[in-house]
Amino acid sequence: MKAFNRIFSAVTVAIILLFVVVNMILAADKTDGSRQYRVEISRLAREIEANGSADISECVYVTNIERYGKKFYSTDSDYVIYEINGELYRFDYSANGYSNKAHFVGIVNAVLGVIAILFIAVMLYIKYAILAPFERLSSLPYELSKGNLTTPVKETKNRFFGKFLWGIDILRENIEQQKQRELEMQKEKKTLLLSLSHDIKTPLSAIKLYSAALSKNLYPDAKKQQKIAESITEKADEIEGYVLQIITASRKDFLSLEVNMGEFYLSELIEKITEYYSEKLALIKTDFNIGKYKNCLLSGDLNRSVEVLQNMMENSLKYGDGRRVELIFPEDDECVQIALRNGGCTLSVDDLPHIFESFWRGANAESIRGSGLGLYICRQLMRKMNGEIFAEIDGDIITVIAVFTRA
């Protein structure tokens, strides 16, 4: 806003200076006119002396020539009297040139005034309709990042920021829902761990007692010892069951990925990916080739489908050689396949089945930052959209293929 005020002040001063300069030029022209009318009169006098008459149609300052007579001195205009060939002539003139010169000055000033008013009106509109609301909204993302914006964002009819506020409010709702889900998940985890740890204590205590009895030879009878050994095995199996529950809970889907099923065209999906990655890959000098495809209607969530392809692209940029990325479309009558191919793959074929598991990272990812969730999220989203995703390795070329169902 401060920068805008400085620009507004500078342009206003420039308009005022322009107004002053134009009026000075017009005033100077008027001063020159007070001298130029004498030149015209002298030329007309010489012409009358030579020809007996003169033409004033092209004159700028002289408006009339009157020969001496009854109404010789009856005029409201400024005049000069010359004696030519023994007769008196009256030359009426206007020091401002044309009679409408004053009107011309007024028109110029009026035009400059209108321009100044329009400029001020436009700048004030920009200030109060765009910059002022934006300045008030600029703190919303910062407050949202700190988690302070818990109340809904007020709706506005501002055509410039209505959609922005709508998006901010949706983002706020998503963050609040995510926080709520995280709290519920933490509560469930804590409840589960407390319950399982309590359940494990009972068989564990029994195993300790049985092992202590065996170590002290309290039961010399072989049958009794066999029975204790069977009890220990039973309790160990019980503990193993609890451990299995913990493992199952840890592998349970911890991401709440919502999908809004609908229909969209394949070209829409490709355009969104191309719009972002064409420029990004050009900056890092990576060739980005998109194969030919037949546009068709797909079933799924467009935004989630974009997320799937983005994760695939980011994965290929992280672990590829950065030379070339290809987006191809293998023909399939029953579904639509979108395959992403890139070179520089150092992943072994044995590791290929694990790349879609959560938090799994191969040996080739030791020096690369990541969480091991990108392809896992891709698989979860594709399955929720009734699709699938898989990968193939051919030498150092890896191809990740997303399979979409037709609408």
Whether 371 shows a pLDDT value over 70: the answer reads: no
Confidence of residue 99 (pLDDT cuts 50, 70, 90): very low
- The Cα 197–Cα 242 span in angstroms is 9
Which pLDDT score, from 0 to 100, does residue 403 have? 92
- The single residue listed with the structure tokens 């972002």 is 276
324: enclosing H helix or E strand: strand 324-328
Average predicted confidence (pLDDT) for the chain: 78
Lowest mean pLDDT among 30-39, 311-320, 389-398: 30-39
Query: Per residue in 160-211, pLDDT tens?
Result: 666 777 777 777 777 777 777 777 777 777 777 777 777 777 788 888 887 8
E runs forming strands in 47-133: 62-67, 78-84, 87-93
Which of the listed ranges 126-130, 159-163, 305-309 does the model predict with the highest average pLDDT?
305-309
Residue 263 in contact with residue 297, Cβ under 8 Å? yes
> Contacts by 85-90 with C-beta closer than 8 Å and gap 24+?
85/48, 85/49, 85/52, 89/45, 89/48, 89/65, 90/64, 90/65, 90/66
Mean pLDDT of 327-336: 86
Which of the listed ranges 209-223, 239-253, 288-302 does the model predict with the highest average pLDDT?
288-302
Class of residue 4 by CB neighbours under 10 A (exposed 0-12, middle 13-18, buried 19+): middle
Query: Per residue in 30-88, pLDDT tens?
Result: 544 456 778 888 888 888 888 888 888 888 888 888 888 877 888 878 888 888 888 88
- Above pLDDT 70, what percent of the chain? 80
- The Cα 33–Cα 63 span in angstroms is 14
Which pLDDT score, from 0 to 100, does residue 146 have? 65
Tokens for 211? 């092992």
Which pLDDT score, from 0 to 100, does residue 148 have? 61
Higher pLDDT, 278 or 156: 278
Which pLDDT score, from 0 to 100, does residue 33 have? 47
- Above pLDDT 90, what percent of the chain? 5
Helix axes 302-319, 266-283, angle to 10 degrees: 30
Helix axes 302-319, 374-384, angle to 10 degrees: 150
Whether 229 shows a pLDDT value over 50: the answer reads: yes
Whether 406 shows a pLDDT value over 80: the answer reads: yes
Mean pLDDT of 15-38: 64
Mean pLDDT of 122-145: 73
Confidence of residue 26 (pLDDT cuts 50, 70, 90): low
* SS3 letters across 210-238: HHHHHHCCCCCCHHHHHHHHHHHHHHHHH
Which pLDDT score, from 0 to 100, does residue 72 have? 81
Of 350, 399, 357, 404, nearest in space to 380 by CA: 357
Whether 315 shows a pLDDT value over 70: the answer reads: yes
Whether 277 shows a pLDDT value over 60: the answer reads: yes
- The Cα 245–Cα 234 span in angstroms is 17
